[in-house]
């Protein structure tokens, strides 16, 4: 879609993309836009849109929840001893 390589899409590029590429599957387009769109809530944090019913049934919600919990546990386990040492040395 980005023809001039500026990493931004202006109105003409967006319009040309949808005019010259016919619609084959509306569900795919909605799925792509839903998962590529993030709400900016400030402080460099983003929140994704809600999961669809098909994603809930497939277990995607639980897999992402478990992955986030494991990432948090590993990061805290790795940084907590270093943070304790830092405070002790201060």
Q: List pLDDT tens digits, range 23-79.
A: 777 777 777 676 666 655 666 665 555 666 777 778 777 888 888 899 989 888 888
Q: How many domains does the chain have?
A: 2
* Cβ atoms of 6 and 13 closer than 8 Å: no
Residue 16 shares a structural domain with residue 34: yes
Residue 2 shares a structural domain with residue 43: yes
Residue 26 shares a structural domain with residue 69: no
Residue 13 shares a structural domain with residue 45: yes
Q: Say what the alpha-carbon torsion angle 57, 58, 60, 65 is, to the nearest 10 degrees.
A: 60
Residue 43 shares a structural domain with residue 68: no
Residue 88 shares a structural domain with residue 75: yes
Residue 66 shares a structural domain with residue 40: no
Q: What range does the domain containing 90 cover?
A: 51-90
Q: Is the pTM of this model over 0.85?
A: no
Residue 30 shares a structural domain with residue 64: no
Q: Please give the structure tokens belonging to residue 59.
A: 């277990």
């Amino acid at each position: 879609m980005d023809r001039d390589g500026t990493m931004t899409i202006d109105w003409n590029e967006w319009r040309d993309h949808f005019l010259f590429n016919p619609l084959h599957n509306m569900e795919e387009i909605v799925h792509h836009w839903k998962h590529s769109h993030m709400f900016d809530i400030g402080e460099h944090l983003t929140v994704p849109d809600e999961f669809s019913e098909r994603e809930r049934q497939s277990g995607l919600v639980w897999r992402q929840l478990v992955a986030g919990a494991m990432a948090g546990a590993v990061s805290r386990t790795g940084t907590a001893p270093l943070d304790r040492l830092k405070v002790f040395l201060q």
